């Protein structure tokens, strides 16, 4: 069966499949890794935060380079698929080293293999997301491609949670590592069956950083994406700390995360449905405002409020579905604006910059939060003063509200709505 853009559902499923193991990897790196390496391996939370920030500075170089390469270099007539295969060995080695470290592994081991994972991850994800943007040019159907991919990603997240939540931390991370090391190569080979967009003229030498300065639409979306990414990164990084030390129930962390991401998986199709019928930027703004109301309540919770927090996890998880599904579709619309202006498709380069924004927002926000917590006397070993726990709650619940409100202010009057995006695509194809 085909969707409205002429793509077979089988091809969409094949393209989306690798998102499952990649999302299963994303969760431990940004949610479990800080707690495991600080609590079990004994590395300072502040040092871990500093490493996360330093590695993201590397991304500012590697992501644009990878985007440039995947736009210009063809192997066997293909621009995107070969890079996915080349990235697999580095991902496999780094995943095992970080999630199943030997006794005595310290900060040098952690930092070195995090760098390897970051470079390999960039080599995989930058062409992968650019490929998705090129599967269709239709305004509404780009959202459909996104929801296929993000639904697979949410399934991977839930799988990772089930593997982690039904065992001790070390065993759970080992299970996730095996899922990624086996599942990613198999599903990548499956994805090769999906079509790749036609090879278009290679991009010129104009720096995308110059486009960022001169194109207000691109700059506005990128900044809003960064702010909202940081807002989502704070609770992701601090989730297990919040459950263990603020609510006082470490064992509830796994089930609560399953509820959160399960709700996101259920909510994504609803947001996509709304995004097809209304301007995607307005739908996204409403989702962010809704999330702000939910997170503000989380700050008021204290020891024993696990049931109330479970409700918050479900309600905020529904909002996460919008964050995962709508912005990538909007990003593809922005590429069309540049294609009309420059005459070439620089999809990979654009998605490389968005990859920088994504990973920078996650690591810098999470890293700064960990450093601030250490300055306030917080320890992953326990015995924290009330002041440190208030800082934990504020960084978890209130800081995301401020960041999301700033993103809404940027996006509410965003000029690239349905009518403009559809007209741009018609000009490209006409």
**Which tens digits make up the pLDDT trace of 156-199?**
988 888 887 766 766 888 999 999 999 999 999 999 888 776 55
- Three-class secondary structure of residue 2 per DSSP: strand
Phi-psi region of 102 (alpha: psi -120 to 50; beta: other; left: phi over 0): beta
Give yes or no for residue 207 having a pLDDT over 60. Answer: no
Task: Enter the tokens of residue 36.
Answer: 């495991």
Range name among 78-87, 196-205, 219-228, 347-356 with the lowest pLDDT average: 196-205
State the alpha helices, DSSP H only, in 343-429.
347-375, 386-393, 399-411, 418-429
**What percentage of the chain has pLDDT greater than the value 90?**
32
User: What is residue 205's predicted lDDT score, i.e. its pLDDT?
Assistant: 45
- Three-class secondary structure of residue 78 per DSSP: strand
* Superfamily (CATH H level) for 9-429: MFS general substrate transporter like domains (1.20.1250.20)
Dump pLDDT digits (tens) for 347-380: 666 766 777 777 778 777 888 888 899 899 888 7
Cβ atoms of 173 and 28 closer than 8 Å: yes
**Rounded Cα gap, residues 95 and 190, in angstroms:** 21
Please give the DSSP secondary-structure letter assigned to residue 75. B
CB atoms within 10 A of CB 302: 12
**Rounded Cα gap, residues 107 and 103, in angstroms:** 12
Burial class (CB in 10 A: 0-12, 13-18, 19+), 88: middle
Cβ atoms of 212 and 218 closer than 8 Å: yes
Backbone angles phi, psi at 79, to 5 degrees: -105, -30
Which of 126, 100, 127 has the alpha carbon at shortest distance from 113?
A: 100
- What torsion, rounded to 10 degrees, do the Cα atoms 231, 232, 238, 243 define? 120
Q: Would you place residue 210 in the very low, low, confident or very high pLDDT band (cuts 50, 70, 90)?
A: low
User: What is residue 409's predicted lDDT score, i.e. its pLDDT?
Assistant: 95
The structure's pTM equals 0.73
């Amino acid at each position: 069966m085909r969707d409205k853009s002429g793509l077979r559902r089988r091809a969409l499923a094949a393209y989306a499949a690798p998102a499952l193991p990649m999302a299963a990897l994303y969760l431990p790196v940004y949610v479990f890794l800080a707690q495991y390496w600080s609590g079990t391996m004994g590395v300072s939370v502040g040092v871990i935060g500093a490493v996360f920030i330093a590695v993201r500075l590397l991304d500012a170089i590697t992501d644009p380079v990878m985007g440039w390469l995947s736009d210009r270099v063809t192997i066997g007539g293909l621009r995107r698929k070969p890079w996915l295969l080349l990235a697999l060995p580095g991902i496999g080695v780094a995943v095992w080293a970080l999630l199943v470290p030997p006794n005595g592994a310290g900060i040098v081991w952690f930092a070195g293999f995090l760098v390897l994972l970051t470079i390999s991850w960039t080599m995989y994800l930058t062409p992968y997301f650019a490929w998705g943007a090129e599967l269709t040019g239709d305004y509404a159907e780009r959202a459909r491609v996104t929801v296929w991919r993000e639904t697979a990603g949410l399934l991977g997240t839930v799988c990772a949670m089930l593997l982690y939540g039904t065992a001790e931390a070390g065993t759970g991370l080992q299970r996730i590592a095996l899922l990624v090391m086996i599942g990613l190569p198999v599903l990548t080979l499956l994805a090769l069956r999906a079509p790749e967009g036609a090879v278009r003229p290679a991009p010129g030498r104009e720096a995308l950083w110059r486009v960022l300065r001169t194109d207000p639409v691109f700059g506005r979306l990128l900044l809003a994406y960064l702010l909202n990414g940081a807002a989502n990164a704070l609770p992701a990084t601090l989730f297990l700390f919040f459950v263990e030390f603020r609510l006082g129930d470490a064992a509830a962390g796994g089930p609560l995360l399953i509820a959160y991401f399960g709700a996101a998986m259920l909510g994504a199709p609803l947001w996509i449905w709304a995004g097809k019928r209304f301007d995607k930027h307005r739908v996204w703004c409403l989702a962010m405002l809704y999330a702000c109301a939910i997170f503000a309540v989380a700050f008021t919770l204290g020891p024993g409020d696990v049931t109330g927090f479970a409700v918050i996890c479900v309600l905020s998880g529904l909002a996460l579905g919008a964050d995962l599904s709508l912005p990538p579709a909007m990003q593809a619309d922005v590429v069309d604006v540049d294609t009309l202006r420059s005459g070439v498709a620089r999809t990979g380069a654009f998605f490389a910059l968005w990859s920088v924004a994504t990973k920078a927002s996650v690591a810098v926000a999470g890293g700064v939060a960990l450093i601030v917590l250490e300055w306030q006397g917080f320890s992953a070993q326990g015995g924290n003063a009330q002041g440190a726990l208030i800082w934990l709650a504020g960084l978890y619940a209130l800081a995301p509200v401020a960041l999301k409100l700033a993103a809404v202010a940027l996006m509410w009057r965003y000029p690239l709505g349905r009518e403009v995006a559809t007209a741009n695509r018609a000009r490209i194809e006409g």
